[in-house]
Amino acid sequence: MQHQSIRAIFPGSFDPITNGHLDVIGRGNKLFDELVIAVGQSPVKEEVFTQAERVEMISRLVADMPRVSVESYTCLTVEFAAQIKADVMLRGLRNLTDVQYEFQLAMTNRSVAGIETVFVMTSEEFGFVSSTMVRQVALLGGDVSKLIPVPVYNRLRERLAKKAGH
């Protein structure tokens, strides 16, 4: 019996990418033949890093994962998934709030675009980490060094220092 190659898409704004995201990427890399990290833009969130900067940072972080690629997109996530012929959408779950939101999203994506969603639970230590929370804590001067990869933390500190300087 021949194995059909499965391409998954892991969409998000990743502003900034967290250790929780990297945990989900590592799990997805084991589950699928190919994993595309799809870096989108959120119309409701004020960006710390540009989309190009996020793609560049994530690409460096996953450079040692041969079946993982990073791409940016500006259309609807399901449209991008169709463009790249993704078989499934990968999503990480942290808590019950995520389950409710992600369940609704998965049902909508399946009925609208026919794409299945595969959920993985993040490791316990990342159960409370979100990019939004990291941005807010960092903007208020809090230490987020344990929540995001070191190179991203360094770039975030630089960016916030520049903002404070203006």
Domain boundaries, the chain: 7-128
Active site residue 94: yes
Q: Which of 5, 42, 45, 157 is an active site residue?
A: 45
The fold of 7-128 is: Rossmann fold (3.40.50)
Active site residue 21: yes
pLDDT, residue 37, reads: 98
Task: Give the Cα separation of 161 and 150 in Å (integer).
Answer: 16
DSSP category for residue 89: E
Active site residue 159: no
123-143, pLDDT tens digit by residue?
A: 888 888 899 899 999 989 899
Q: Which of 21, 54, 91, 155 is an active site residue?
A: 21
35-67, pLDDT tens digit by residue?
A: 999 999 877 778 899 999 999 999 999 999 989
Active site residue 54: no
Per-residue burial over 30-45, b if 16 or more Cβ lie within 10 Å, else e, is eebebbbbbbbeeeee
pLDDT, residue 160, reads: 87
In 3D space, the residue among 41, 72, 68 whose CA is nearest the CA of residue 55 turns out to be 72
In 3D space, the residue among 19, 81, 75, 83 whose CA is nearest the CA of residue 51 turns out to be 75
